[in-house]
């Protein structure tokens, strides 16, 4: 909706700021909560939001950004599905005088003048927190620990960084070994499918590290389908801490979750206003996050917002 009113200038007479936002897709519970946060906070801030869903495809995001440029929106924000390949379209926005804000995921463009700010998590730290927990869990043990890894979308910042942070930390314990690692595209269906293949190929999996809750939840179905007990026969670590993940953690099917907050909307709208007013903004805004054990999940669940 809203597309019919989009010809000509983004400013439709009143002084409402027009924000074009290109979302990754609807691949996970995290993403759904993120979309809601952005839509709700735009409304609250009195910002007109042109929202576009790229269905996990970079070409769709590039199209959406070009369309926002054509519509002369005031500010463009987007969550880049992958890290590479943005220089050209970001240059087009810059040449058109439209400021860009990155949310959630990073780009690898060397020219940081192509965007005003980047708001979101430190995914390397998230991977490190997952790795730290595992190293502690097996402290003092020397038997081999076989880990399988479900990676997020190939080429995305969270997949690259969560893999790296985890690998860096488990390197401290030579018996902790990743025996298989594949993408599950951040979805439940893919997580299940890839875990089924892992279980067929390896009879001796001790640990699953999934780059998000949804893939972990899909994998739990695969593990149960293979007659094993998730959280007991195979220990599971995930990232995000959305409600379904937290429930599985409280139920003992997941062992540890590293939080990644999707509630970026309010801070994004603050940034949009500042950027529109020509005020200086911080180049990097980090989200505050924690981790959850099974006991902590039980305590947090009743008041969890998403
Ligand atoms: O962890 C995952 C989602 O970019 C941080 O994307 C986000 C990730 C999140 O699909 O669930």
Supply 151's token pair.
Answer: 């990676």
pLDDT range class, residue 281, cuts 50, 70, 90: very high
Task: Look at residue 8 and tell me whether its pLDDT is greater than 70.
Answer: no
Q: Is 128 in the pocket of ligand 1 (CB under 6 A)?
A: no
pLDDT at 9 over 80: no
| DSSP state string for 20-83 | EEEE--S-SHHHHHHHHHHHHHHHHHT-EEEEEE-TT-HHHHHHHHHHHHHTT-SEEEE--SSS
Task: Place 11 in a pLDDT band, splitting at 50, 70 and 90.
Answer: very low
- pLDDT recorded at residue 242: 98
Tokens representing 221 are 């179905």
Which among 79, 260, 262, 264 is the best mutation to test ligand 1's pocket, defined by most ligand atoms within 8 Å of the CB? Answer: 260
CB 206 within 8 A of CB 143: no
Query: With bands split at pLDDT 50, 70 and 90, how would you rate the model's confidence at 46?
Result: very high
- Are 294 and 238 within 8 A, CB to CB? no
15 CA → ligand 1 middle, Å = 34
What whole-number distance in Å separates Cα of residue 80 and Cα of residue 279? 24
Q: How confident is the model at residue 10 (pLDDT cuts 50, 70, 90)?
A: very low
* pLDDT value, residue 1: 38
Residue 2, pLDDT score: 39
- pLDDT > 90 in the chain, percent: 95
> For residue 102, what are the β-bridge partners?
78, 118
| Residues belonging to the chain | 306
Locate the ligand 1 atom nearest the alpha carbon of residue 214 and give its number. 11
Give me the pLDDT at residue 13, please: 54
With the most atoms of ligand 1 within 8 angstroms of its CB, the residue from 25, 186, 238 to mutate is: 186
Higher pLDDT, 90 or 12: 90
Judged by DSSP in three states, 247 sits in: helix
Q: Tell me how far the alpha carbon of residue 293 lies from the centroid of ligand 1, in angstroms.
A: 20
Summarize pLDDT for 211-221 with one digit per residue, the tens. 999 999 999 99
Residue with tokens 């054509």: 70
User: How would you classify the pairing of strands 256-259 and 291-292?
Assistant: antiparallel
Band (pLDDT 50/70/90 cuts) for residue 3 is very low
Q: Distance from CA of residue 245 to its chain's centroid?
A: 14
| Ligand 1 centroid, distance to 143 Cα (angstroms) | 33
Interval 268-295 mean pLDDT: 97
CA 296 to ligand 1 centroid distance, Å: 22
Separation of 14 CA from ligand 1 center, angstroms? 35
Q: Which atom of ligand 1 is nearest to the CA of 240?
A: 1
Which residue has its alpha carbon closest to ligand 1 atom 8?
A: 158
pLDDT of residue 288: 92
* Ranges of H-type helices in 157-202: 157-170, 188-201
Query: What confidence score (pLDDT) does residue 15 get?
Result: 86
Rounded mean pLDDT of 68-92? 98
pLDDT in tens, 90-121: 999 999 999 999 999 999 999 999 999 999 99
Backbone angles phi, psi at 203, to 5 degrees: -90, -5
pLDDT digit string, tens, across residues 25-41: 999 999 999 999 999 99
CB burial class (10 A; 0-12, 13-18, 19+) of residue 87? middle
Sequence-separated contacts (24+) of 191-196 with Cβ below 8 Å: 191/150, 191/215, 191/216, 191/217, 191/218, 191/219, 191/222, 192/218, 192/219, 192/221, 192/222, 193/218, 193/222, 194/150, 194/219, 195/148, 195/150, 195/219, 195/222, 195/223, 196/222, 196/225, 196/226
Please give the distance, rounded to the nearest whole angstrom, from the Cα atom of residue 21 to the centre of ligand 1: 17
Summarize pLDDT for 120-149 with one digit per residue, the tens. Answer: 999 999 999 999 999 999 999 999 999 999
Q: What is the mean pLDDT of the chain?
A: 95
pTM for this structure? 0.94
Distances (CA, A) of 70 to 60, 61, 91, 270: 15, 14, 14, 24
Q: What is the pLDDT of residues 156-190, one digit of tens each?
A: 999 999 999 999 999 999 999 999 999 999 999 99
Of ligand 1's atoms, which has the minimum distance to the CA of residue 187?
A: 10
How remote is the CA of residue 141 from the centroid of ligand 1, in Å? 33
Report whether 28 contacts 245 (CB < 8 A).
no
**Does the CB atom of residue 28 touch ligand 1 within 6 A?**
yes
pLDDT digits (tens, 9 = 90+) for 245-267: 999 999 999 999 999 999 999 99
């Amino acid at each position: 909706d809203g597309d019919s009113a989009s010809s000509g200038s983004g400013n439709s007479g009143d002084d409402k700021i027009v924000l074009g936002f290109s979302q990754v897709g609807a691949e996970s519970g995290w993403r759904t909560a993120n979309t809601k946060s952005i839509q709700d906070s735009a409304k609250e801030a009195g910002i007109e939001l042109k929202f576009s869903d790229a269905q996990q495809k970079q070409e769709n995001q590039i199209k959406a950004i070009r369309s926002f440029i054509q519509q002369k929106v005031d500010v463009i924000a987007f969550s880049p599905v992958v890290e590479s390949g943005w220089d050209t379209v970001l240059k087009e926005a810059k040449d058109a005088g439209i400021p860009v804000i990155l949310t959630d995921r990073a780009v690898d463009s060397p020219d940081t003048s192509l965007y005003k700010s980047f708001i979101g998590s430190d995914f390397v730290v998230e991977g490190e927190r997952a790795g730290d927990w595992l190293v502690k869990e097996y402290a003092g043990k020397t038997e081999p620990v076989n880990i399988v890894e479900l990676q997020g979308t190939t080429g995305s910042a969270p997949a690259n960084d969560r893999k790296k942070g985890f690998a860096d930390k488990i390197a401290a314990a030579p018996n902790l070994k990743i025996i298989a690692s594949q993408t599950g595209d951040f979805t439940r269906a893919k997580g299940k499918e890839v875990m089924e293949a892992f279980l067929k190929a390896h009879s001796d999996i001790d640990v699953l590290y999934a780059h998000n809750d949804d893939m972990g939840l899909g994998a739990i179905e695969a593990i149960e389908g293979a007659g094993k007990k998730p959280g007991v026969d195979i220990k599971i670590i995930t990232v995000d801490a959305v409600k379904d993940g937290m429930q599985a953690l409280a139920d003992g099917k997941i062992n540890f979750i590293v939080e990644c907050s999707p509630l970026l909307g309010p801070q994004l709208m603050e940034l949009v206003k500042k950027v529109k007013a020509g005020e200086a903004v911080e180049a990097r805004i980090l989200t505050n996050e924690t981790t959850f054990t099974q006991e902590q999940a039980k305590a947090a669940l009743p008041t969890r917002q998403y």
